Chains A and B, each alone.
Chain A
Amino acid sequence: MATLSLTGMLHRSLVHRRARSVSALVAMTVSAGVATALLTLYADLDTKLHKEFRSFGANIVITAHANASLPTDAVARVQQAAGADALAAEFAYAVATTDKGTPIVVAGTDFAAVKRLDSWWQVDAWPDAAVMDSALLGQRAAQFVGNERAIVLTYAGRAITVSGVGRIRTGGDEDSRIYMPLVAFTAWTGVGPSVIELQVPGGVKRVEATMAKLQQELPEVQVQPVRQLVEGESKIVDRTHALMYGAVLLIALTVAVSVLATLSASVLERRRDFALMKALGGSQRTLMGMFLLEALVLALSGVAAGFVVGSAAAWAISEGNFHTATLPHLSVLPMVLLLNVAIASIAALLPLRVLRGLQPAALLKGE
């Protein structure tokens, strides 16, 4: 035998007032969708921003004290202290003379390490790290050599011939240098590495912790941050977090106003129905419960739809801006749920007050 259930009445009521229900559902979906998208991006934000900043190169520079070289095992100790996921490349510098008689800075380094560390460098062809006479010519440095394929460099009376296999353009000092394999450089000049550039993944806290550890384990060297990069990363991450919080709050407020208007209209247009239910013996608590259940159903439906839409939006934003896909994060679901239920509850306060003040006698009389 059929019964008249609360859920049945709720379903019929929502279907009967399709336009109003859809309007409220859309508002709740927008709220949940935006919250899902922003929170999903937020969850991956640190990783993605650190990845972006990683492409800018080193964030710590380790140097030897004046007129000294770094210990021979320095790079290995740095790597050990900084962790396996850190990237390190050592550099040795000398001022040599080109075959045109122009002084030029020549740097010895490990091309394989530099390629990973300074991925932002624009290099048309990287030299083979195993070929000892290969060299990388800075864009400006190339103007001061005769034959790029056979560059004669002289340092302290000792000449070496290297072959420029590629050009480097950074817009910085690198453009005025000639880079060659560290082993060949040291054999030619007798100068060992004086600088290690280190890139530590993670945020400012890890950078600072790594610096402290390096300072402790390598007291004979100077450890300094690449300040612009570390501080810039910190500011951008903080501002992006603040922006996301602000956006979620603003959108939540906008949606709350929209849902408030919809729910208020929903009560006002059905005040005679509610008045009738009151006249038939429905208690204040029952009627308020019915109304809250309706708001809750809309909020939960909005969460379900919004989570799908928001996850898709987060994926698209991530793909477009960071070139990596962001998968749906189930971990954001409780927060989205909480937000939508809070919005529905706040938006229901005024309509509940209207409901509480209904005078069945006057309404049913048509006054």
Chain B
Amino acid sequence: MNEAKVQTGPLGGSLSEQTTRPDCAVIALSHVTREYSGHAGVVRALADASFSIVAGEWVAITGPSGSGKSTLVNLIGCLDRPTAGELKIDNVDVASMSATELDRFRADKIGFIFQQFHLIPYLSAVENVMLAQYFHSMTDEAEARAALDKVGLGSRISHLPSELSGGEQQRVCIARALINHPPILLADEPTGNLDAANQTIVAELLQDLHRNGHTIVMVTHDPEMAGLAQRKIALSHGKVFCHPVGGPMVTLRR
């Protein structure tokens, strides 16, 4: 694991200390490998990855196409399991969990923000938020309305996704990701489908969330978005080749 410059982290102490202390980590990978078997033989999508992310940290995962970003996000998002190595989310080893346990764990621990929003087209904004509650525990419309209010969509709760702009749809997606209070927000190219104005809105929302102590793991190609994160994890050919602690938080310039 590469060590980097010392910077104060959200839990106090230095980030470099936190990333090397698994007990402080909300996400901890230790020699994680993911291989896929296909017609062309075994493909190693992620090789021997080891790093930690502490609670409250904002990490950007970068790398070219085919570098293993999606594989890493699938693993952290509990949508997949490693072929080898240890992957701990909130101090629980998910590699040994059954599919059913993983479903439950995912609903509890991970809030997803997708590039393409992925809202159910026949459900209103508030119902899309309630959908995450439905699969987690019980639906609570008041709470879902409040979540939409927080992302500035209090007046759009009854609208269908087709009646919302791209930026508004992404904000519904963020409200849905937050509704069950997961410890980790996993954002996959959250501004990739948005125009400049909406990118700014979403970036500011993520900054607010980070300030409020949310752990954010964000995959992005956008250097400016990556610059908002405290730390970058760069991937190339399935290998984590650096994860330096970033510089000071930057102000988004658009």
Residues of A within 8 A of B (CB): 1-4, 9, 12-13, 15-16, 272-273, 275-286, 359-362, 364-366
Contacts and interface: CB of A to CB of B under 8 A. Distances in A.
A361 B79 contact: yes
A272 B120 CA distance: 9
B99 A284 contact: yes
Interface string B72-95: 011001011000000000000000
Main secondary structure of the interface of A (DSSP, over half): helix
Given A1-B142, A281-B135, 4 more contacts: A278-B103, A280-B136, A282-B135, A361-B79
Contact of B139 (A3, A272, A278, A362): A3
Contact of B135 (A1, A2, A277, A361): A277
Contacts of B107: 280-281
Interface string B178-190: 0000000000100
A272 B118 CA distance: 7
Contacts of B133: 4
Contact of A366 (B74, B116, B134, B139): B116
B74 A16 contact: no
Contact of A365 (B103, B120, B188): B188
B51 interface: no
A362 B80 CA distance: 11
Contacts, number: 82
Contacts of A9: 123
B134 A4 contact: yes
Main secondary structure of the interface of B (DSSP, over half): helix
B122 A15 contact: yes
Nearest to A281: B107
Contacts of B245: none
A365 B116 CA distance: 8
A361 B36 CA distance: 14
Contacts of A276: 118, 120
A277 B107 CA distance: 10
B132 interface: yes
Nearest to B138: A3
A4 B139 contact: yes
Contacts of A282: 103, 135
Q: Of A12, A284, A285, which is in contact with the most chain B CB atoms at under 10 Å from its CB?
A: A12
B70 interface: yes
B141 interface: yes
A19 to B, nearest CB: 14
Q: Contact residue range for chain B?
A: 35 or more
A281 B70 contact: no
A284 B101 CA distance: 11
Interface of B: 70, 73-74, 77, 79-80, 99-100, 103-104, 106-108, 112, 114-116, 118, 120-123, 127, 130-136, 138-142, 176, 188
A366 B118 CA distance: 10
A361 B77 contact: yes
B122 A16 contact: yes
Nearest to B186: A279
B136 A361 contact: no
B130 to A, nearest CB: 4
A4 B131 contact: yes
A360 B134 CA distance: 18
Given A282-B135, A365-B70, A273 B120 contact: yes
Contacts of A359: 79
Contacts of B104: 281, 283
A23 B70 CA distance: 37
A12 B141 contact: no
A22 to B, nearest CB: 16
B141 A364 contact: no
Nearest to A285: B100
B100 A283 contact: yes
Nearest to A362: B70
A95 B206 CA distance: 116
Contact of B112 (A13, A279, A362): A279
Nearest to B107: A281
A279 B77 contact: yes
A17 to B, nearest CB: 8
A312 B228 CA distance: 70
Contacts of B176: 280
A282 B188 CA distance: 20
A281 B103 contact: yes
B131 to A, nearest CB: 6
A56 B74 CA distance: 78
A4 B130 contact: yes
Nearest to A15: B122
A223 B112 CA distance: 88
A1 B141 contact: yes
Nearest to A366: B116
A364 B131 CA distance: 16
Q: Closest 4 CB pairs between A and B? A: A281-B107, A16-B122, A361-B74, A281-B135
B131 A277 contact: yes
A12 B118 contact: no
19 contacts: A3-B141, A4-B130, A4-B133, A12-B122, A15-B122, A272-B118, A273-B121, A277-B131, A279-B112, A280-B107, A280-B112, A281-B103, A281-B104, A282-B103, A282-B135, A284-B100, A361-B80, A362-B70, A365-B115
Contacts of A272: 118
B122 A281 contact: no
A88 to B, nearest CB: 71
Given A1-B142, A2-B141, A278-B103, A364 B120 contact: no
A353 to B, nearest CB: 16
Nearest to B119: A276
A342 B120 CA distance: 30
